[in-house]
Amino acid sequence: MSERLTNLTEIELPYRRKAILKRVDFDSGMSMVRLVIREGTRITQVDLDAETATGIADALTSAARDL
């Protein structure tokens, strides 16, 4: 199965970390948001469906407002 990646944004995080968001389009027609977190040489990658990505975005927005 092949996938097409579209870079959406890169965000510099505290402590020299980086978050990268990409759109992933699969040959099956399914699309997801890929969250990549880079911590030095360590890379964590998670594919999120639209509902989960929206839930995380809402939770982060709410948490940031409370800071």
For residue 60, the surrounding DSSP H or E stretch is helix 50-65
For residue 35, the model assigns a pLDDT of 98
For residue 5, the model assigns a pLDDT of 97
For residue 4, the model assigns a pLDDT of 97
For residue 28, the model assigns a pLDDT of 93
Angle at 25 between CA 48 and CA 64, to 5 degrees: 35
**Could you tell me which of 25, 20, 22 has the C-alpha nearest to residue 2?**
25
Report the chain (67 residues): mean pLDDT per 10 consecutive residues. Answer: 93 96 96 97 97 97 96
Taking the model in full, what pTM does it have? 0.88
